[in-house]
Amino acid sequence: MAAPEMEAFLTHPVVSGGVSASTQNQAKPSQRLPVVPTGAEVRAVLASLERMYRLVGMRLYGAGLRLMEAVRLRVKAVDLGRRELLARGG
C-alpha cells in the first residue's frame, strides 16, 4: 500500500467507525527506530565506570536485569555452578 492509501486505511475507523483517535494512533507505525549500541560502545561505557558501578553495569547489560534488580542482588541469588542469577520480585 502506498503512503496515502495506508493513511486512508488507518483513518477510516476513526472517521466512520467511532473508534477513538488514541486507538487509531496505536495502529500507525512509529517513525523512530530504537538505537542499539554496538558491542564496542558497550565495552567503552563499562570500562569508563568505577569498579563497583562497572559490576552493576555488567549485570544490567549481560543478564538483562533492571536497575533495582541489580542493586538488590544478593550473594545467595548468585549460583556460580549453574551460571545463574535469581531475581525476585521483578
- The pLDDT, as a whole number, for residue 2 is 59
**Number of domains comprising the chain:** 1
Q: Band the pLDDT of 28: cuts 50, 70, 90.
A: low
Domain assignment of residue 24, yes or no: no
Instruction: Give me the chain's average pLDDT, please.
Output: 80
Which residues, other chains included, contact 19 with Cβ-Cβ below 8 Å and sequence gap of 6+?
13
Question: By C-alpha distance, which of 27, 71, 83, 62 is closest to 19?
Answer: 27
Write out the residue range of the structural domain in which residue 56 sits.
41-85
| pLDDT tens-place string over residues 38-68 | 999 999 999 999 998 998 899 889 888 888 8
Domain assignment of residue 10, yes or no: no
The model carries a pTM of: 0.50
